[in-house]
Amino acid sequence: MLTSKAAHTELIKSEAKRLGFLSCGISRAAFLEEEAPRLEKWLQNNMHGEMGYMENHFDKRLDPTKLVEGSKSVISLLLNYFPSEIQRGDTYKISKYAYGTDYHFVIKDKLKELLHFIQTEIGDVHGRAFVDSAPVLDKAWAAKSGLGWIGKHSNLLTKQVGSFYFIAELIVDLELKYDTPVTDHCGACTACIDACPTQAIVDPYVVDGSKCISYATIELKSQIPSYFDNHMEDWIFGCDICQDVCPWNRFSKSHNEPLFNPHPELLSNSKKEWEEITQDVFNEIFKKSAVKRTKFEGLKRNISFLKEQNIHSKTNLK
């Protein structure tokens, strides 16, 4: 006979699956002892660049009980975003996670539904949903919950499906049956380290955020520094290189979430069409997209930077 903890856990995982989540893992809400020194060192070495918000709420990042009073469990969830079609040919590239509707909206709705289900089926349970919206170390919690291991590129990896998925959490004041971490399966592989054009993976499992193409195209609000000259490989929003070369991603299967399907122009636009993009076209293609984070001006800056680089490269070849 199942204990109430086991029964509640089974109920939650079953509902998470029904809602379309790839997988669900649960861990005890407690201080992340192993992560504390890593995060501190990463910040001290200024690997967060201009992402000043990473320095805020240090304690809350490491201790969920400071985020949600009385919390006992962290329910980690994965949602697949690997597309059935990707950009092809000589074009400017956008990270696959930003092809469709902003994941914040899509996942937040699913999390609210899951929390409502828990409260309806189990009773007086309090909790909060998190999707990149608060100081929560998503990957650390997902790894602790047995959903995968953190790879050398610092993304969560899962044997069956690779790494093209979003991570989200429900932190609740309900005691549940806890999962255990899985082992690391990166082995001697250095594909991600070798492929990174900006050498942002400074050591296995350590990414210098300030050297990452995703940082330069999304987080950085000032001009793109010369460090990135001839290293952007036509990315105008985010970068998937370290994931694209990872052997585990050969197991990626396309998502079945209609809201993640891209606007047709996102897949078909040529470089010239991107270079001539107007505010109206931007608004149309990226209506509810995560690309709005960089705004029209930010995307134009990224495109102009790459256009200049391409002109210089062609001039130097003559």
Q: pLDDT of 136-154, one tens digit each?
A: 889 999 999 999 999 999 9
Q: pLDDT of 224-260, one tens digit each?
A: 999 999 999 999 999 999 999 999 999 999 999 999 9
Amino acid at 303: I
Specify the residue for token string 């002109």: 311
Active site residue 280: no
> CB-based contacts of 214: which residues, under 8 Å, 6+ apart?
95, 238, 239
Q: Which two tokens stand for residue 93?
A: 């590239």
pLDDT computed for residue 41 by the predictor: 79
Annotated catalytic residue within 90, 102, 109, 132: 132
Q: By the 8 A CB rule, do 125 and 68 touch?
A: no
As a whole number of angstroms, the distance between CA 236 and CA 139 comes to 25
Q: Which two tokens stand for residue 69?
A: 């009073």
Residue 315: band (very low, low, confident or very high) from pLDDT cuts 50, 70, 90? low
Residue 129: band (very low, low, confident or very high) from pLDDT cuts 50, 70, 90? very high
**Cα four-point dihedral sign 8, 9, 15, 16:** positive
Domain spans, the chain = 4-172, 191-250+262-317
- 4-172 sits in which CATH class? alpha beta
Residue 316: band (very low, low, confident or very high) from pLDDT cuts 50, 70, 90? low
Q: pLDDT of 9-32, one tens digit each?
A: 999 999 999 999 999 999 999 988
> CB-based contacts of 147: which residues, under 8 Å, 6+ apart?
23, 24, 25, 76, 78, 156, 158, 167, 179, 182
Nearest to 303 by CA among 241, 240, 232: 232
